[in-house]
A and B are shown apart, each in its own frame.
Chain A
Amino acid sequence: MIDVSGLTKTFRNGVEAVRGVDLTVAPGEIVGFLGPNGAGKTTTMRMLATLLRPSSGSATIAGHDLRSDPRGVRRSIGYVSQSGGVNPVNPLGDELELQAMLYGMSRAEARSRIADVLATLELTGLEGMPGGALSGGLRRRFDIAFGLLHRPSVLFLDEPTTGLDPQSRAALWEHIRSLGLTVLLSTHYLEEAEALCDRLLVIDGGRIAAEGTPAQLKGERTLNEAFLEIAGRPA
């Protein structure tokens, strides 16, 4: 479902954020994207979400070529960015409606779909609020609502559970699992990676440093120890 080969990104200031990433995510698979701060997770995901032009390499997402058919890619994916995209001053219901209709839904379809998504994320009743009036975790749940609205077949989630309370986090894991989507999800919570993901990728310095199921990566150690060994910096 996601096929990436030789992806690189060198920013204009010379930073080589991604230095040759190959990865595959099978249909229905949930893959965790781990790695220390600045490793290149967000940069990789922004490239795959058509927001950033890769310096080199290629990718196919849900059958669409990233370079030649970005619009096809956009139609198939949901993307929740690390920093979110909630409008602080406008009622979120209006923002959701615009978003849904930009994916081709009629207003009636949009409204019933919005009601469903808000109900699953336990946000019903908050759609009249502007983002700025919500707590951080509620705002984050709205970010996720935006990403799920159009029933994408592939989901990119960049640290989706940052700021969520433990109940919401567990509920989100369960929800993501129940959708059966293809998911690439970055996280710094190793217990989340272990509980939710079928497979893990560890990126470090813009390169994939390790790959495998949580059990394979762990071996005899805890995942935390394994992670520190793969991507550890001397303290």
Chain B
Amino acid sequence: MRDTWLIFRHHTRITLRNKFAILITAAQPLFFLVLFGPIFATFGSWETLVPGLIIQLGLLSAGMAGFGVVFDWRSGVLERLRVTPAGRLPLLLGRVLNNTFTLVVQTVLLVAVAYLIGLRAPLLGVLGAMALVVVLGVSLAALSHAAAMRLNEHLFAPVMMTAVWPLMLLSGTFLPMSMAPQWLSTLSYVSPFRYVLEAMRELFAGTYASGVVAVGVLVVALFAAISLTVGTRVFSRDNA
């Protein structure tokens, strides 16, 4: 617990020192919001679009968190920390929680801008969606770290940048999957993000006690459990 907190605090201090990096990672969904949102709003609602952009943000921010570990691996910092008695799960979790913190800050920014240009989701719904974002951020960041440690460092960037797109499109980030032909919609059920996204859309629409929300919560919790297990296993690999 203390180790997790120490690692989290350390990395968060670094994050806060690089505020521009927080903004630039959030830039892509912000562009979509400002430059694509007004078109989408002519036939859809902001409450449908913004949750999709939150998923996009999650994939681009927490999903790319593994870059940090590649960097620390190369500079020998990770190995130095692995010789300390700090637990292996805290070494991972402290970083992952920092990535999640960053994601939450970015999501707040995205939602705030969305409010300025037309979003009208109820506060309770937004808070509920935020809770899902936290769990989603933990999962994505943990998986990203695992991928970064597993893949060779030249492969990590291209693989992740490529993987992000089918995941985004299949979750219905830009257009809801209800508009997709049957085969595509069926295929999209393999992506955990579809369930989370649909739950967030319900929450943004002000429906809290629905089956869709329950399924979304369940899927994201399961996803987090699996991601953290995989992440810790990869992180403690090669230890005596």
A94 touches B13 (CB 8 A): yes
A81 touches B80 (CB 8 A): yes
In-complex Cβ contact of B81 among A47, A88, A94, A102 (8 A): A102
B240 touches A52 (CB 8 A): yes
The digit string for B219-240, where 1 denotes a CB below 8 A from any CB of A, is 0000000000000000000111
The closest CB in chain A to the CB of B80 belongs to A85
Q: Complex formed: what's the CA distance from A79 to B81 in Å?
A: 10
Binds B, one of A30-38, A69-77, A173-181: A69-77
Given A47-B240, A71-B85: A102 touches B3 (CB 8 Å cut-off): yes
Say how far A128's CB is from chain B's closest CB, in angstroms. 13
A101 beta carbon closer than 8 Å to chain B: yes
The digit string for A70-111, where 1 denotes a CB below 8 A from any CB of B, is 110111010101011111101000110011011110000000
A98 touches B7 (CB 8 A): yes
Say how far A109's CB is from chain B's closest CB, in angstroms. 14
Which residues of chain B from 183 to 240 have a CB within 8 Å of any chain A CB?
238-240
The closest CB in chain B to the CB of A82 belongs to B76
Number of B residues near A (Cβ < 8 Å) is: 22
A102 touches B79 (CB 8 A): no
Chain B residues, CB < 8 A from A131:
75
Given A98-B6, A98-B7: A90 touches B76 (CB 8 Å cut-off): no
The digit string for A122-145, where 1 denotes a CB below 8 A from any CB of B, is 000000000100000000000000
Chain B residues, CB < 8 A from A102:
3, 6, 81, 84-86
A51 beta carbon closer than 8 Å to chain B: yes
Q: Complex formed: what's the CA distance from A53 to B6 in Å?
A: 27
Q: Complex formed: what's the CA distance from A77 to B80 in Å?
A: 12
B10 beta carbon closer than 8 Å to chain A: yes
**Total A-B pairs in contact (CB under 8 Å)?**
71
A157 beta carbon closer than 8 Å to chain B: no
In-complex Cβ contact of B240 among A66, A75, A90, A94 (8 A): A66
B83 beta carbon closer than 8 Å to chain A: yes
Q: Complex formed: what's the CA distance from A70 to B72 in Å?
A: 22
A51 touches B80 (CB 8 A): no
Chain A residues, CB < 8 A from B6:
98, 101-102
Q: Complex formed: what's the CA distance from A53 to B80 in Å?
A: 16
The digit string for B79-95, where 1 denotes a CB below 8 A from any CB of A, is 11111111000000000
Chain A residues, CB < 8 A from B155:
none
Say how far B57's CB is from chain A's closest CB, in angstroms. 25
A83 touches B76 (CB 8 A): yes
Chain A residues, CB < 8 A from B72:
87
A40 beta carbon closer than 8 Å to chain B: no
A94 touches B10 (CB 8 A): yes
27 A–B contacts from the bound complex (CB under 8 Å): A49-B83, A50-B239, A51-B83, A51-B238, A51-B239, A52-B238, A53-B238, A70-B239, A71-B85, A74-B83, A79-B83, A81-B76, A85-B79, A85-B80, A86-B77, A90-B14, A94-B10, A98-B6, A99-B81, A99-B84, A102-B3, A102-B84, A102-B85, A103-B84, A103-B85, A104-B85, A146-B80
B residues with a Cβ closer than 8 A to A are 3, 6-7, 10, 13-14, 72, 75-86, 238-240
- Taking A102-B81, A131-B75 as known contacts, 14 extra A-B pairs with beta carbons closer than 8 A to each other, sorted by chain A number, are A49-B83, A50-B240, A51-B239, A53-B240, A70-B239, A74-B83, A81-B76, A85-B79, A86-B76, A94-B13, A99-B81, A99-B84, A102-B3, A102-B85
Which 9 pairs between the two chains have the least Cβ-Cβ distance? A85-B80, A85-B76, A50-B240, A102-B84, A74-B85, A98-B10, A102-B86, A75-B85, A79-B83
